[in-house]
Amino acid sequence: MKNRLQEITEEQLIAALKNKNREAVGILYDKYSSLLFGIIARIVKSDETAEDLLQEVIVKIWKNIDSYDAGKAKLVTWMGNIARNLAIDKIRSKEYKNSRQNQDIEDYVNIIEENPSSGFNPEHIGVKEMVEKLAPDHRVLIELVYFQGFTQAETSEKLGIPLGTVKTRIRSAINNLRNIYT
Amino acid sequence: MNIKEYISSGVLELYAAGALSEKEAREVEAMSSEHPEVKAEIEAIQNALVSYSASFKKNPRPELRQSVLDKIDEIEGTVSSNVLSLSENMPGVQTVHQQNNVPNYYERPHKYRYLMAAVWVFLALNIIGNIVFYTKLKGTQDQMAAVVNENNKMKLEYEKIKLDMEKKSIDLKMVMNRSNKVVDLNGMEIAPQSFATVYWNPNSKQVMLNVNNLPMPPSDKQYQLWALKDGKPIDAGVFDMKPGTEGDMHMMPVTISEADAFAVTLEKKGGSPVPTLTQLYVMGKI
């Protein structure tokens, strides 16, 4: 039974979620929790906070599945954005800022260069090498914009580059990513 | 700006990374629905970002899975009417959508719900406790006031009794003085039942009078005590009688150095220089 359920397609999973089938939550969790948790943990830099947020994210997916439009984005993109937004909201909240010192660019670089996974996971073999293929300035840019929720203007200010340059740099950073991951 | 330029401007990357304002994002979405190339480009960017995110995959603690599922059950209620076999929920077999309008209260995270419940219980107990204590305190305060009042009364009473006692004890000392001459004054014709006692100390020359029985004088009159020496009357002072003070000892405000008899007459207020003999009430010889 379990195997059969896990073999269902993304379409079937979405339909089951929209029908409020609670078993579908388990499947969703098994398929995507490590991805979503990875994103959240990378942003909030605390596993404990990340677990609370992962729960919130799953609840939000469950409640808002009706607003998901398969025509606009893949399920994983939609869910990833929910996770990212919640986590970014968290680190931008006053209470969170007060509890943590803001980190500097150098720290981002350090985070990028350290092993992205704690604990052994076969999926992660070679991940570090892949990430390291990305030029450091590109990594920092994606880190700021994608994982820290910096706007174009904030990024421009943070990195001391003109506004227009942010656009062209993020373009080349993501092009770089596309080359690595396809 | 043509589509190629638009695609290569970097705006789609900013859109996918969530760095655009709401307004700018709507513009990109409008372009995307109009131009399939734009849509495809956005998808490719999104896929790249998801793949990159997947590099950071990380497993949460295994216990979290159950707690997430419990959370969903909590939101939806424990009645598992929705746990249908998945095949019944396959696309195309749309079942009636169950929309649960659970109040917000239940959507709060577990721990806050219990915390809130605990806070309410605590508050309720507190209020009840306060009412009980206030009522008790009020009662106690009333009792206290009554006790204080009673105490004050008793204190006055005590002071009065103490004064009385002191007076009596002085009276007694004087009465018991061995050098005292005790003179019984007996009732005369005008009031045969009357009787008084004089205690006269020839050494100290003090005179005390005990009114054993005399009629109440009219309000414009006063009794006057006289000492008699060889038939000659000497004023020994007036005294008042108040109802209920019969038997009181009167310390007379004069000194009498020699006497062979005492008498009481009823005189005008303040006394007279000579006794009115028709108003002679009591008299006695030493």
Domain boundaries, chain B: 3-54, 145-176, 181-285
Residues 98-137 of chain B whose Cβ lies under 8 A from any Cβ of chain A: 98, 107, 109
The complex scores an ipTM of 0.83
- Inter-chain touch B9–A167, beta carbons under 8 Å: yes
B219 falls in which pLDDT band (50, 70, 90)? Answer: confident
Task: Give me the CATH topology for the region A103-182.
Answer: Arc Repressor Mutant, subunit A (1.10.10)
pLDDT category at A75 given cuts 50, 70, 90 is: very high
Joined together, the tokens standing for residue B83 give 């746990």
| Residue B13 in contact with partner chain A when CB distance is under 8 A | yes
What are the residue boundaries of the structural domains of chain A, listed by start? 1-101, 103-182
User: Distance (Å) from the C-alpha of residue A144 to the closest C-alpha of chain B?
Assistant: 10
Q: Note whether A33 contacts B64, CB cutoff 8 Å.
A: yes
pLDDT at B105 over 60: no
- pLDDT over threshold 90, residue A82: yes
Asked if the Cβ–Cβ distance from B48 to A16 is below 8 Å, we say no
Query: Does the beta-carbon distance from A59 to B75 stay under 8 Å?
Result: yes
Is the CA virtual torsion B15, B16, B22, B26 positive or negative?
A: positive
Q: Which residues of A touch B89 (CB under 8 A)?
A: 15-16, 19, 21, 24
Categorize the per-residue pLDDT at B244 as very low, low, confident or very high, splitting at 50, 70 and 90: low
A47-51, A96-100, B281-285: the lowest-pLDDT one? A96-100
Given a contact cutoff of 8 angstroms between Cβ atoms, the answer to whether B285 and B181 are in contact is no
Identify the residue with better confidence: A89 or B81.
Answer: A89
- Which secondary-structure segment (H or E) carries B265? strand B261-268
Query: B53 touching A, CB under 8 A?
Result: yes
* Nearest C-alpha in B relative to A151: B19
Say whether pLDDT at B102 is over 60: no
pLDDT at B191: 86
CA distance A74 to chain B (A): 8
**CATH entry 1.25.10 includes domain B181-285:** no
Mean pLDDT of B107-132: 84
- C-alpha B250/C-alpha A167 separation (Å) is 120
Would you call B47 an interface residue with chain A, using a CB distance cutoff of 8 Å? yes
Q: Which helix (H) or strand (E) holds B31?
A: helix B22-34
Closest chain A residue by Cα to residue B65:
A29
CA angle B43-B48-B54, nearest 5°? 125
Point out the least confidently predicted range of A52-66, A115-129, B149-163, B259-273. Answer: A115-129
The chain-wide mean pLDDT, for chain B, equals 84
Asked if A87 reaches chain B (Cβ–Cβ under 8 Å), the answer is no
Contact: A77, B46; criterion CB under 8 Å: yes
Region A151-159: mean pLDDT is: 89
Question: Residue A110 has what pLDDT?
Answer: 52
Architecture of domain A1-101: Orthogonal Bundle (1.10)
Please indicate if any CB of chain B lies within 8 Å of the CB of A2.
Answer: no
DSSP B144-199: HHHHHHHHHHHHHHHHHHHHHHHHHHHHHHHHH-TTPEEEEEEE-TT-TT-EEEEE
Q: Minimal Cα–Cα distance from B6 to chain A, Å?
A: 12
Note which residues in 93-152 of chain A have CB less than 8 A from chain B: 116-119, 121, 123-124, 127, 130-131, 142, 145-146, 149-152
Identify all chain B residues contacting A15, using CB atoms and an 8 Å cutoff: 89-91
Euclidean distance between CA atoms A93 and A96, whole angstroms:
5
CA distance A12 to A29: 15
DSSP H helices, chain A, are 2-6, 10-18, 22-44, 47-64, 75-92, 94-99, 105-113, 127-133, 136-142, 152-159, 163-181
Residue numbers in A near B57 (CB within 8 A): 34-35, 37-38, 117, 121, 123-124
**Counting one residue from A and one from B, how many pairs have CB atoms under 8 Å apart?**
199
Closest Cα in chain A to B17: A146
Minimal C-alpha gap between A94 and chain B (Å): 20
Phi, psi at A119, each rounded to 5°: 90, 150
Backbone angles phi, psi at B249, to 5 degrees: -90, 130
pLDDT score for A99 = 67
CA pair distance B79, B99, nearest whole angstrom:
14
Chain B partners of A49 at a C-beta cutoff of 8 Å?
Answer: none
- Reported as a pLDDT band with limits 50, 70 and 90, residue A106 is very low
Token representation of residue A158:
């943070």
